[in-house]
Amino acid sequence: MGFEKCHPAVNFIYFTTVIAGMIVFKHPIFLLISFVCAFIYSIKRNGLKALVFNVILLPCVAAYAFYYSSYNHFGVTVLQQNMIGNNMTLESLVYGFVLGFVIAGVLIWFSCVYSVFTTDKVVYLFGKVSPRLSLFLAIILRMVPRIKKEAEKINTAQRGIGRGANQGNVFQRLRNSIRILSMLITWTIDSLTLVSESMRSRGSSLRGRKAFSIYRFDNRDRAYVVSNFACLTVIFMAVMLKQTDILYDPRILMNPITTMSYLFYVGYAVFCLMPLGLELWTEYRFWKARKVL
Amino acid sequence: MAHFQIKDLSFSYPTAKGKKSLDGVSLSIEKGEYIVLCGKSGSGKTTLLRQLKSVLAPHGKKQGEILFNGTPIEKVNQRVQSAKIGYVMQNPDDQIVTDKVWHELAFGLESLGCDQKTMRARVAEMACYFGIQDWFHRDVANLSGGQKQLLNLASIMAMQPEILILDEPTSQLDPIAASDFLNTVRKINIELGTTVIITEHRLEDIFPYADRAVVMDGGKIIADDTPRNIGKLLYKQKNDMFAAMPTPIRVFYGAGGNGDCPLTVREGRTWLSKTYPEPMVNILPAEELDDEIEKPALSLKELWFRYEKDSPDVLRGVSADVPAGTLYAIVGGNGAGKSTTLKAVCGICKPYRGKVKVFGKPVEKYKSTELFGGCLAMLPQDPKSLFVKKTVREDLAEMTKDEKRIAEIAAVCEIKSLLSSHPYDLSGGEQQRAALAKVLLTEPRLLLLDEPTKGIDSFFKEKLATILCKLKEQGITIVMVSHDVEFCAKYADMVSMFFDGQMLTTDTPRRFFGNNSFYTTAANRMSRHVFSMAVTAEDVVELCRQNKEAAV
C-alpha cells in the first residue's frame, strides 16, 4: 500500500532528489532533518532490523568524526594537542560529524531505496532508456539464480557418487570443486546458447524493440510529483537565499536564522517525510474504510 | 493452399561426412491440422522441425524446398516468421528468457514492437486463456516445470501464431503436468484452429486426437497416415516403432484383432468386452510377497526429515525393506518426497529421526570412501549434472584407471560408439546410459536411480530395462524412483506407493497395479472389467491367447 506502489519513475525522482539533498546540504539543520526523516522512514519500512542498523551507525558516525579530526587540522578553535603535537580543532571535529552523518544518512536512505525498488522497477527504468539494456538486465536476473541452482544440483549429483565438493581429503575436495566449477561454466554457455535460440525464435533480433511494463501513471503519482516539485521549489529558494550555505573552514560561519528560515526547514522536512506521510495516509484510509464496514 | 509444403527436402550436417540427416522428405501440412511426428531418437524429427523456421535451422547442406503459405521459407521475412511460426522446445527452463512471468509473456510482443495498449490487452488475454492470472507477478524461478512449459506456450501464443511446432515439449514434465500441457495444445488446435506439429514420446495422450501421424526413420518418412492406419502399418512391417504405440493398439494387434483398432482406453474396453464377453481364463498368477525379508540390502526405519528447521516434514516415517538382488520401484506424485528418500539413503540428507541401514550396517557408520566406493551410488534425475569432462571417455576414466573395466561397462551400457563425444551433445537416452556407466564404475552393490526414464523414448527405455536386468543378474540391488507406471509394472520386482511422506503400500507389480483402479497402467485400465491382474500389454495379450486356446 505504501510508496512502493507508486510508479517507478516517481520512486526514482524522489529518491534521487532526496539523496542529492542529503549529500549536498552540509548545513547542520538541513542535515539533521534529512537524517531524522530517513531514520524514521527506514524504521517504518523495515521495522526492528532498520532500528538496529541505524543505531549501530551512530557510534560509527562518532568514530568517523574523531578519525577525521585527527587527520585534518583546519580551523581556529584548538581544543587540545594530540600526542604527536597536532592541533585538534573544533571545526574539523564538527565537519567530521557532518560528513559522518551524510554518509550514514545516505546509507539509511539507500536501505529505504532497497525496500521500495524491486528488480522489475529497475528493469522498467532501464527499459525507458534502452529496451535492449533492460532486456540484458532481465536475462542476468534470470541467469544468476539459475546458475546457483545448477551448481547445487551438480554438487548433489556428484555427492551421489562420492565426488562432491565436501567429500574426501583436502586435495580431493579441491579437485572435485574445480571439476564442478568447470562443468558449471560449460553448462552456463550451453544454456545461454539455448536461451538465445529461444529469444531469436521470438524475434529478439528484429528492429524496433519496445519495453512492456505493468505500471500505470495514475493521479496519485501525478499528485506526488507535483508536491515533490513544490517542496523542491521551496528548497531552491533556500539555496538562492544562501540559507543552506555554511563554512567550516577556518571558522563555522552561516547566515543568521530568520523567520523565513523556519519556512525552509518545514519545507525540507515535508519533502523528506513525503513517502512516510503517503504510507500513513493510505493506512489511515484503509483503516477507516474497514471500520465503516 | 497447404500451410507448409515440404518438397523433397534433404539435409546433412557439415560434420556428418555426407550422411544425410534428412533424405528426400516430402510432406504437406494443411491449415488447422494436428500432426504427430514420431520416430526413434536420431531419426531426424528435430532436424526436420528446425528447418521450418529460418532462425532455428542448423547449418549444413540443404536441398529441396519448404514453402510457407506458398512462399519459400527463406523469402518469408523474419518479422512474419517470428510471429506466425511458434516453436516450443524441450527443456522448459532453457526457453524462458526473463525473470518475471509477466515479462516473459510480453517478450515476443516487445520484439515485434507493439504499443503498450496492444501488449497489455494481449498479455491479459493470454494470462486468462492459460489460467496464469494467479502467478502473473511471480518470479519464474518459483514455478513448477509444468507451469514453466505452459508459460513458454502462452508467451508464444501471445504473438498469435498460425502454426505451432512443438519438439518433445513434455519430456521433462511429470505425467500429470504433461497431460495438462497436451490438453492445452489440443484445446488451442480445436478452439483457435492453429495448425499443430508435435513430436512426442507420450503417444497415449495425443494419438487419439491427431489428424495424421507421420513416422520417420533414418531421415526418411516411412509412413504418413491416420493414427489408426499407422498402427496397422507398423505392426505389419514389424517396425521397432510399434513398441511406442499406445497400449490399446499394441494389445489389439498383439492379440490378432481384425478391423479398426482401438486408440483410447475406452475403445479398447469396448473391443475387449465384445471379443471376450465371458472369458474362460481371466486371471494371471500373481505371486504374493514374502512377509519376512532376510538380510535386506537396504532397510529404512521410520525416517523423518525436513529441509529447514521451520519447514514442513518431507519424510514422515518412511519404512521399507529392499531385498537383495531385486529391482524395487517407488512410485508416487510430484513432491511427495521420493527423491528425498534416495538422498537420505546416500547421506546427502540426514534424517532427524529413524535409521537407514545399508547391507545391515547403519549408513552413518560407513566412511565416505567406503560407502561410495563399492557400496552404493546414485544416478541423479538429470544425468547431465554427473558429467565433468569434455568426452565420455575422460569422464569414465575419472572413476577408475582400469581400462578393461571401462570397456566392460561401456559394453554393458552400450555406449562404445559414444565414448569420444562430448556428454552434452548426446541425446537424452544416450546421456542416461553414459551417466549410468559412470555410476556403475564405482562398483555399487546398491544402485539408486532417480527417474531413469525421464525424457527417454520407448526404444531407449527397453534398452535401459535390459541393462538393468543384466545388473540384477550380477547381484546388484536397484532402487528406482519413478513416475513411469508402465515401466515399473513391466520391469520392477516390487512396487511401493509413496504418498504424503510415507511408503504406503508395497507389493509385486501385478498385485499392486492390479488392485489400483486409477493409479495404474493403461493395460490394466483397459482390461480390468474382463481380466484381473493383467497390468502390461503383454499380460493382456497373454490372457487373450490363453482364452483363444481354451475356446479351441
pLDDT in tens, B236-255: 998 888 888 999 999 999 98
State how far the Cα of B547 lies from the Cα of B537, in Å rounded to an integer. Answer: 15
Residues B517-536: what's their mean pLDDT? 91
List of chain A residues whose C-beta atoms are within 8 Å of the C-beta of residue B137: 214
| Residue A82 confidence (pLDDT) | 77
Whether A99 and A222 share a structural domain: yes
Which residue, A143, A172, A201, sits at the end of a domain? Answer: A201
Question: CA A24 to CA A31: how far, in whole Å?
Answer: 9
- B25 within 8 A of B220, measured Cβ to Cβ: yes
Q: Which amino acid is at B506?
A: T
Same domain, residue pair A110 and A228:
yes
Cβ-in-10-Å burial (0-12, 13-18, 19+) of B428 comes to: buried
Nearest residue of B to residue A131 by CA position?
A: B110
Residues A81 and A161 grouped into a single domain: no
Q: Does B190 touch chain A (CB under 8 A)?
A: no
The reply to whether A282 falls in a domain is: yes
ipTM of the complex: 0.86
Place of cell 505425467: B175
Same domain, A49 and A182: no
Contact B368 A146 (CB under 8 A): no
C-alpha cell, A223:
499528485
A138 and A31 part of one domain: no
pLDDT value of residue A293:
62
- Which chain A residues contact residue B53 at CB under 8 A? 201
Co-location of A239 and A190 in the same domain: no
A 105-124 near B (Cβ less than 8 A): 119-120, 123
- Write the residue in B110, B380, B388 that is nearest to A179 by C-beta: B388
pLDDT in tens, B22-36: 999 999 999 999 999
**A168–B98 C-beta distance less than 8 A:** no
Within a 10 A sphere around the Cβ of A59, how many other Cβ atoms? Answer: 9
Q: B386-419: per-residue pLDDT in tens? A: 998 889 999 898 888 888 999 988 988 888 888 8
Q: Given CB atoms, is A200 within the 8 Å cutoff of chain B?
A: yes
Mind listing the pLDDT tens digit for each residue in B441-464?
988 999 999 999 988 888 888 889
Confidence grade of residue A95 (pLDDT, cut at 50, 70, 90): very high
The stretch A68-76 carries a mean pLDDT of 86
φ, ψ of residue B334 in degrees (nearest 5): -70, 140
Residue A210 within any structural domain of the chain:
no
For residue A153, being part of any structural domain is answered with yes
Q: Do B348 and A160 touch (CB under 8 A)?
A: yes
Confidence of residue B541 (pLDDT cuts 50, 70, 90): very high
Question: Is the pLDDT score of B186 beyond 80?
Answer: yes
CA distances from B5 to B28, B125, B211, B359 (A): 5, 32, 17, 61
Q: Are A117 and A134 within one domain?
A: no
What is the average pLDDT score of chain B? 90
Is the CB of B115 less than 8 angstroms away from the CB of A213? no
Q: Which of B156, B159, B387 comes nearest A183 by C-beta? A: B387
Residue written as grid cell 527443456: B91
Taking only residues 52 to 71 of chain B, the set having a beta carbon closer than 8 angstroms to any beta carbon of chain A reads: 53, 55-56
Higher pLDDT, B82 or A118: B82
Q: B434 to chain A: which residues are within 8 Å by CB?
A: none
> What is the nearest CA distance from A8 to chain B, expressed in angstroms?
16
Q: In which band, very low, low, confident or very high, does the pLDDT at A266 lie, cut at 50, 70 and 90?
A: very high
The amino acid at B102: W
Residue A209 lies in a domain: no
* Residue A78: predicted pLDDT: 83
Question: Does B80 reach chain A within 8 Å, measured CB to CB?
Answer: no
Q: Give the A:B interface size as CB pairs under 8 Å.
A: 165
What residue has cell string 532500528? A51
Instruction: Specify the pLDDT at position B126.
Output: 93
CB-nearest partner of B373 from A139, A162, A207: A162
Residue A139 to residue A288: CA distance in whole angstroms: 43
Q: What's the whole-number mean pLDDT along residues B125-148?
A: 92
Q: Which residues contact A234 (CB under 8 A, 6 or more apart)?
A: A263, A264, A267, A268, A271
Instruction: Quote the domain boundaries for residue A153.
Output: 129-201
Query: Does a structural domain hold residue A159?
Result: yes
pLDDT at A83: 78
Beta strands B361-362 and B4-12, pairing class: unpaired
Query: Do residues A116 and A226 both lie within one domain?
Result: yes
Quick: pLDDT tens for B462-486. 889 999 999 999 999 999 999 899 9
Most A-contacting residue of B388, B421, B439 (CB-CB within 10 A), to test interface: B388
pLDDT at A129: 85
Q: What is the pLDDT of residues A231-257, one digit of tens each?
A: 999 999 999 998 888 888 888 888 888
Specify whether A27 is located in the same domain as A90.
Answer: yes
Determine, for residues A198 and B94 on separate chains, whether the beta-carbon distance falls below 8 Å: yes
Q: Domain total for chain A?
A: 2
- pLDDT at position B398, please? 83
What are the backbone angles phi and psi of residue B533, rounded to the nearest 5°? 65, 20
Q: Kindly list the structural domains of chain B, giving each domain's residue range(s) and its CATH number in brackets, ordered by start.
A: 4-237 (3.40.50.300), 246-288+518-552 (no CATH), 298-517 (3.40.50.300)
How do residues A102-155 score in pLDDT, each as one tens digit?
Answer: 999 999 999 999 999 888 888 888 888 888 888 888 888 889 999 999 999 999
Distance CA B288, CA B290 (A): 7
- Of A201, A226, A248, the residue that ends a domain is A201
> What are the tens digits of pLDDT across the range B294-347?
788 999 999 999 998 888 999 999 999 999 989 999 998 887 889 999 999 988
Question: A115 — phi, psi (to 5°)?
Answer: -80, -20
Q: Which long-range contacts (CB under 8 A, 24 or more apart) does B181-188 make?
A: B181/B146, B181/B149, B181/B150, B181/B153, B182/B206, B184/B130, B184/B150, B184/B153, B185/B153, B186/B34, B188/B157, B188/B164
Where does the pLDDT of residue B222 fall: very low under 50, low under 70, confident under 90, or very high at 90 and above?
very high
What phi and psi, each to the nearest 5 degrees, are found at residue A243? -75, -20
β-bridge partners, B356 = B300
Residue of A nearest to B439 (CA): A161
| A212 within domain boundaries | no
Residues A153 and A224 in one domain: no
Q: Nearest by CB to A120, from B100, B111, B346: name it.
A: B100
| Residue B301: C-alpha distances to residues B159, B314, B358, B497, B512 (Å) | 54, 15, 12, 16, 22
Same-domain status, A284 and A160: no
By C-alpha distance, the chain B residue nearest A159 is B348
Q: Does residue A42 lie in a domain region?
A: yes
In a shared domain, residues A27 and A167: no
> Between chains, do A154 and B89 touch, taking CB under 8 Å as contact?
no
Q: Does the distance separating the beta carbons of B53 and A197 come in below 8 Å?
A: no
